[in-house]
Amino acid sequence: MPKKRVGALEKVDADLPNLQYKIRRDPKSYSEDFLNQYGQYKSQRDIFMASPSTATSAGIVSFRDLIDFVAHVADCFPEDTAEFPEDLKSILTSYHAELESELREKIVGSLVLLRRKEIIDSANLLNTLFPILVATPSKTLRSLLFSKILSDLRTSNSKSTNHRLNRTMQTALFNLLSSDKTSQKGIWAVKITRELWKRQIWTDAKAVEIMKEASLADNEKVIGGGVRFFLGGDKEREELDDESSDEEIVDIGKLKHQHGINKKTKKKTKTLERAVEKVKKHEKKKKAPHPLNFSALHLLHDPQGFAEQLFSKHLQNTKSKLNLDQKLLVLQLVSRLIGLHKLTVISLYSYFIKYLTPRQPSVTSFLASLAQATHSLVPPDALEPLVQKIANEFVSEASASEVASAGLNAIREICVRQPLAMNDTLLQDLVMYRKSKDKGTMMAAKGLLSLYREVGADMLKKRDRGKTATMGLKSGSIKDRRFGEEEAGGIEGLELLEEWKENERKRKRVERGLPEEVGSDEEEDDEQDWDAWDVESDASSDSGGWINVESDGEIEISDSEDDKPAVKKAKTQASKSEAEAKDSNEKTELEKEEQKISKLATTKILTPADLAKLQELRLEASLSKAMGGNKVQTARQKELLARHADDALTAEQIEGFSKLRKSTKEERVALAREGKGDRSEHKSTQALRRDKKDSEGKSSTNKEKSRKKNFMMTLGKAKFKQKRSLVQTKRVLQGHVERSKRGGKRGNIGM
């Protein structure tokens, strides 16, 4: 008798994975087995439904395994398993609290699996999971659901934005927040929205609207979440974007080479293919246009109403339950909104009054918020008492130096935004602190002084005004600004860019041996410009890092040259003609207006590279202007100038040099060590430098060579000193005298 063939399933009882594998390979042949198992699933489900809390799946085939099995092969038998997803959903929705955790997780996982197999759609899945996320008391289930919901939203938005799904989800979140303002459940809406915002999946106004609703909720956690989103959500998004963009990139050439040499296997071929795909994807991503994302603060629908509501609900309201930190956050947001959108919330300024004392905890944050809330359209009457109070409370000889410098910095930041908030007696008083012995106070006072030299030199004492300001006042080019006056004009620094482009073009033409004048081949140049579309391209490789500072800081010196910006020339011309006659003045004024608005922006499209260059030039110009004759620039000055008007003001910036809290020793040591590189063993700087050069494979200097030379070989040269001629001796002595004057070999330039 021949040996009986034994089926695999008969050998091993209850081998669901095996059956699953077979079904996946050949669904039709195994449909009967599947139906049996599906029947088994149904009867187990009935058992479970009869008593959900007590049903244990202790048998050799548990309910859990069956669910898993059916979910995995459901796509092979769509008609038979039509009710399966509904079953799972109803089980999960009605019994999620009493289900045992493993079964619960399995059901959630199976639903997600069914979604991946596109048996159910995303909206269906999310509509099931989200209510449970909000309702369940179990922490593990919550975190599981949260991650599943997020990943599902991400996948369904990965190829193209799924607007419908996003809209339904956003509506659900919004309803969750608006239905019950006091409940803590809204935190999930905040979390989901923030995460999706961070990943740039939701970038529209609706998401911002959700967060706005959250900020106006009654629960502290929800409020905190919403407010934090507005304050930090965009930064987080940028950071993530940067992170993802500088992933490590594989060297494809190396891989291909290795593949050519090593043994060829399927696996290795596959890895190579995958690597190539990855690189291609990366390239594509790099080439893709940068998504134009507006910040959350800009997408707000009604900022004025929002700011007013926030202020009246959380800050002015005495019954508000927020603690100081949370209040500060809200205050930051309100002031940020006011500063950014130039809103008018007059009662906010009087609210500040009682917090402006040095004893107030985290007063620098209050000061920063106040400065942030100031803009050119705030009536000076509202600000003047505040400035006065800061000056009285903070800036005095008796107060600690940190306090004084914080106060001065705060006043400066307020006055940058609204120069009219200052009166001349107070200003002259404050400016006197520039003689202070404390560095922080001194710097702060100097900052204030330099600010008013620009914006209101006539308020300063005559001797404080400085050369440029005095000359400007005399010639009339500096006029005092009225309240509400706006400067007309186009893009700041555009004329600089135009000039730079002109120079570049000339340079290129000279390189090619052509005359400097622009010929008919202008088109060609433009094409090159388009090649240099990207910021990273060679044309603007010097855009990052160092900024060229003209060795002669006075920009006026080069005024005589003819490739100066047309604007300046026009200005000076205008000032001359002003002295001559009044009617001609009118005419030149018109001319000035015409010339001022450069043609560049209206005739050409600016590439990202152009914009980067523009920013760089703008910074450079403002730096050289601010420094005047002084060549030394500080990082602080640079940072001050580079700061965008939209950026938030932080308490650290108010604290300035002298921090109110003392730094710990570790911090100081770290600060001192910063930038010195790690010094593993004790060696002289020279030796370290030598080692570095050796490791780079560079050669030694002649001096080093001579030092290493055999002593006996140098004897002959040493004798030369005696044989020197008079001229040679003189040269040596002169050199010595010069060196000592200079202060050493390298000179003491910096001091």
Contact 546, 619 (CB under 8 A): no
Contacts of 485 (CB under 8 A, 6+ apart): none
The residue written with tokens 């909104």 in the block is 337
Contact 213, 178 (CB under 8 A): yes
Contacts of 704 (CB under 8 A, 6+ apart): 690
Give the C-alpha separation, 715 to 698, whole Å: 28
> Binding residue for other proteins (CB under 8 A) from 14, 135, 346, 557?
14
Residue 15 C-beta: closest distance to other proteins, Å: 8
The residue written with tokens 């669910």 in the block is 67
Q: What Cα–Cα distance (Å) separates residue 663 from each residue in 167, 407, 569, 672?
A: 49, 20, 50, 12
Q: If binding is defined by CB under 8 A, does position 7 make contact with other proteins? A: yes
* Of 43 and 350, CB closest to other proteins: 43
DSSP 556: G
The amino acid that residue 522 corresponds to is: E
Residue 163 C-beta: closest distance to other proteins, Å: 33
Q: Which stretch binds other proteins (CB under 8 A): 12-20, 98-106, 112-120, 353-361?
A: 12-20
Q: If binding is defined by CB under 8 A, does position 17 make contact with other proteins? A: no
Q: If binding is defined by CB under 8 A, does position 59 make contact with other proteins? A: yes
* Of 78 and 476, CB closest to other proteins: 78
Give the C-alpha separation, 122 to 130, whole Å: 12
Contact 651, 413 (CB under 8 A): no
* Of 56 and 729, CB closest to other proteins: 56
Site for other proteins, residues 22 to 51, rule: CB under 8 A: 28-37, 39-40, 42-44, 46-47, 50
Contacts of 165 (CB under 8 A, 6+ apart): 122, 123, 126, 153, 156, 157
> Binding residue for other proteins (CB under 8 A) from 1, 2, 3, 10?
10
Q: Which stretch binds other proteins (CB under 8 A): 57-65, 231-239, 559-567, 716-724?
A: 57-65
Tokens read off for 366: 């209050």
Q: If binding is defined by CB under 8 A, does position 544 make contact with other proteins? A: no
* Of 46 and 527, CB closest to other proteins: 46
Residue 308 CA, distance from chain mean position: 27
Instruction: Give 202-231 as a DSSP string.
Output: --SHHHHHHHHHHHTSSSHHHHHHHHHHHH
Q: If binding is defined by CB under 8 A, does position 19 make contact with other proteins? A: yes
* Of 56 and 317, CB closest to other proteins: 56
Give the C-alpha separation, 50 to 45, whole Å: 8
Residue 77 C-beta: closest distance to other proteins, Å: 6
* Of 60 and 751, CB closest to other proteins: 60
Binding mask 69-98 for other proteins (x = CB under 8 A): --------xxxx------------------
* Of 8 and 240, CB closest to other proteins: 8
Q: Which stretch binds other proteins (CB under 8 A): 56-64, 252-260, 338-346, 399-407?
A: 56-64
Q: If binding is defined by CB under 8 A, does position 202 make contact with other proteins? A: no
Closest to 383 (Cα-Cα) out of 399, 394, 396, 372: 372
* Of 79 and 562, CB closest to other proteins: 79
Q: Which stretch binds other proteins (CB under 8 A): 9-17, 154-162, 213-221, 532-540?
A: 9-17
Q: If binding is defined by CB under 8 A, does position 60 make contact with other proteins? A: yes
Binding mask 573-602 for other proteins (x = CB under 8 A): ------------------------------
Residue 36 C-beta: closest distance to other proteins, Å: 5
Contacts of 731 (CB under 8 A, 6+ apart): none
Contact 122, 165 (CB under 8 A): yes
* Of 19 and 223, CB closest to other proteins: 19
CA quadruple 503, 505, 511, 517: dihedral positive or negative? negative
Q: If binding is defined by CB under 8 A, does position 399 make contact with other proteins? A: no
Residue 637 CA, distance from chain mean position: 20
Give the C-alpha separation, 111 to 130, whole Å: 13
Residues engaged in binding other proteins (CB under 8 A): 7-10, 13-16, 19, 28-37, 39-40, 42-44, 46-47, 50, 56, 58-61, 77-80
